[in-house]
Amino acid sequence: MCRLEEVVMKHVRKIKQILQSKPTLEGAGVHLKRAFGYSEVPLLDPFLMLDHFGSSNPRDYMAGFPWHPHRGIETVTYMIEGVVEHGDSIGNKGAINSGEIQWMTAGSGIVHQEMPQRCEGIMKGFQLWVNLPGSHKMMDPRYRGILASEIPDVSLGKGIDVKVIAGDVNKVKGPVRDLVVECEYLDVTLGLHAAFDYPVKQGNRAFAYVFEGNGYFDPGKDKQVSEEHVVIYQDGDHVNITAAEKKLRFLFVSGKPLGEPVAWRGPIVMNTQEELDLAFEEYRNGTFIKYKNR
């Protein structure tokens, strides 16, 4: 007869792959680190891309991301430090400040811009792309701005703090709800040697991206994972993560895979090449925008 801990251990998610983020130039000349992108789509469905931008040199980010289109995806911008001003074709405009979230559903088509503002210290943040299923790629676009004060900070014991952006931690729900794609988005901080044992629905894809400190991302503690690395998990029903010799901070994201074909070029992601070609044709001839907020 197996002991309980042996049964549980069989379902702990093991590390499938560890990737180091790569320097990338995007927008009008923004220097950033790409944690994963086009090549990793089969591994991380429904997540398409994660970019990490962070610099104390304004020349690395001030060129920003001028007006550009999106269709078929959601973009999730999370500012750790700094300010990004934004505007879009359905009338939204404003600023994403430190600790705030912009969850934008492009749907049938949106044109927007994101322009980082000069700041003292380090500008730091992330943009995650979430794919939309074929049934929702042409839905009406929508925009949700989440203030830092709206993001609950849950303590799971000594040295374990979790900001819940989307999902449910200890019955505390994040402010981003009514999502098209089932997913969870957490910002986790672990103190020295603190351990985060956390349930994840079997069958969902999961990854962690380290942006402060280092730690162990499976119970075997075979390898430390340091800053600017993404851990891609195998299947299982929970993860076990432990901080090493200093504070560890990471994004933890999981979601239900779509299992659909991906046709992706630039800022537009559809299911077929024909849909992709049509989107770019419509953008060129001025019929891209299907919805205007009145």
User: How much is the pLDDT for 10?
Assistant: 59
Would you report the helix, strand and coil content of the chain in percent, each value rounded to 5? 10, 50, 40
Instruction: Look at residues 30, 118, 120, 123 and name the one whose alpha carbon lies nearest to residue 81.
Output: 123
User: How much is the pLDDT for 222?
Assistant: 82
Per-residue b/e over 115-138, b at no fewer than 16 CB within 10 Å? bbeeeeeebbbbbbbbbbeeebbb
- Looking at the DSSP assignment, which residues form a beta bridge with residue 239? 198
How many angstroms separate the CA atoms of 89 and 99, rounded? Answer: 25
- Tens place of pLDDT for every residue, the chain, 294 residues? 333 344 344 589 999 999 999 999 999 999 999 999 999 999 999 999 999 998 999 999 999 999 999 999 999 999 999 999 999 999 999 999 999 999 999 999 999 999 999 988 899 999 999 999 999 999 999 999 999 999 999 999 889 999 999 999 999 999 999 999 999 999 999 999 999 999 999 999 999 999 999 999 998 888 899 999 999 999 999 999 999 988 999 999 999 999 999 999 999 999 999 999 999 999 999 999 988 765
User: How much is the pLDDT for 16?
Assistant: 96
Encode pLDDT of 64-116 as tens digits: 999 999 999 999 999 999 999 999 999 999 999 999 999 999 999 999 999 99
User: How much is the pLDDT for 6?
Assistant: 41
Q: Where are the alpha helices (DSSP H) in the chain?
A: 4-9, 41-44, 273-285
Instruction: Please name the residues in contact with 80: beta carbons below 8 A apart, sequence gap of 6 or more.
Output: 54, 98, 99, 124, 125, 126, 211
How many angstroms separate the CA atoms of 80 and 101, rounded? Answer: 9
Is-contact 15 231, C-beta < 8 A? yes
pTM of the model: 0.94
Q: What are the structural domains of the chain?
A: 13-285 (2.60.120.10)
